[in-house]
Amino acid sequence: MSQKRRKQKGQSSDTARNRFIFKKSLAITIFSLFMILILSAGGLAVKVMADVTKSMDRMYQEVSIIDMRNSSIEVDDPVEKERPKQPKKEESAVTKEDLVSNAKPMAMLLIGTDTGDFGRTAVNGLSDTLIYVVLNPGKQRMSILSIPRDSYVEIYGTGTWTKINAAYSYGGAELCINTVQQLLQLPVDAYAVVNFKGFQNVIDAVGGVTVENSFTFSWDGFTFPEGTVTLNGEEALAFCRMRKNDPEGDFGRSRRQRDVIVAVAKKATTLAGALNYQELLDAVSGNVLTNVDMSMAMDMISRYSPCLNNVINHDTLVGYGFSNNGWYYQLDEANLAQVRQELREELELD
């Protein structure tokens, strides 16, 4: 940003920032890493490939989830229950690797937790950020949906109704993914989960990001004027956190978060971003888990990277707040059904 900003110093301020660090870093981390892979695959350096492969191996973690593409799950939805369920033959089962190798639309769930590191157990964290992403290489576009963290849902297989962000604390990525699949009635082909440590380092590693700000506001000691703003890691954190002073509330915050995600992914495709690849790898190391291995990542680069040039932002799901021994967000069924259908069409599902 062109003007100087003054930031409040102090231990309490630092503690608050560390506690609430923006969880959208998982999307930034994964897509930035994929963009780095594009350039390294083009022959930037053998060492780049070796370093990236080592990091990808460390991040890889497969999970056992309900296969929504080749089976179905029971939900409390009268319309869905009336539809005949035709089980698919085993030989027709479609894997995420099949989707990528054939350049078919696929879905990723990006999960941001409030855990400090992956040495902790899943019960220590909540999935405070959930982003459902559809990559459609045929149409060369990417659809992004932010799921409100306080959405009142049934946690898959438990019979418990509570905030959706509790699913991760109950059963890690596996239960979180199944709960989202149950909510959206759509498959999750790949996932990425990240804790809060890497966000500022990722932004700084790509040299900051430039986005458009729709109105002037201040947060965490920073002032963000209306118009074009350039943000370093610490500034981006404050820019993405603010909700209370946004006239659109969580809708506006989600939009700013998505803008930062796309900006950092595009920034990583530049030569300057590639030259800082080691700093990026350091930022994600130990902070990211995904079921995308090196081979699949390389295939995704060649087939899905054009999707970043055409991003469709779905506003966060519509609903209303209510209190019941806590505050919850009740999703509007008509809006939820509409969003399901739009994403289903992007996935080109029958």
**pLDDT at residue 288 is higher than 50:** yes
For the chain, which residues make up each domain, given as ranges?
21-200+277-347
pLDDT of residue 307: 87
**pLDDT at residue 177 is higher than 90:** yes
Strands 141-147 vs 127-136: parallel, antiparallel or unpaired: antiparallel
Q: What is the CATH number of domain 21-200+277-347?
A: 3.30.420.590
**pLDDT at residue 247 is higher than 90:** no
Q: Looking at per-residue confidence, does 262 or 151 come out higher?
A: 151
User: What are the pLDDT digits (tens) for 20-42?
Assistant: 333 344 444 455 555 444 444 44
pLDDT of residue 123: 44
pLDDT of residue 262: 77
User: What are the pLDDT digits (tens) for 304-322?
Assistant: 888 878 888 886 789 999 9
Q: Looking at per-residue confidence, does 80 or 217 come out higher?
A: 217
Mean pLDDT of 52-71: 83
pLDDT of residue 206: 79
User: What are the pLDDT digits (tens) for 124-164?
Assistant: 577 778 889 999 999 999 999 989 889 999 999 999 999 99
Mean pLDDT of the chain: 76
- The beta-strand segments (E) located in the chain are 106-113, 127-136, 141-147, 152-155, 160-163, 190-194, 209-213, 217-219, 222-224, 227-231, 288-290, 311-314, 319-323, 327-331
pLDDT of residue 168: 92
**pLDDT at residue 16 is higher than 70:** no
Nearest one of 143, 279, 90, 311 to 202, comparing CA atoms: 279
Q: How confident is the model at residue 113 (pLDDT cuts 50, 70, 90)?
A: confident
pLDDT of residue 202: 76
Q: How many CB atoms lie within 10 A of CB 118?
A: 18
User: What are the pLDDT digits (tens) for 224-234?
Assistant: 999 999 999 88
pLDDT of residue 92: 58
Nearest one of 195, 196, 205 to 280, comparing CA atoms: 205
Strands 127-136 vs 106-113: parallel, antiparallel or unpaired: antiparallel
**pLDDT at residue 19 is higher than 50:** no
User: What are the pLDDT digits (tens) for 68-108?
Assistant: 888 766 555 444 444 444 444 344 588 999 999 999 999 99
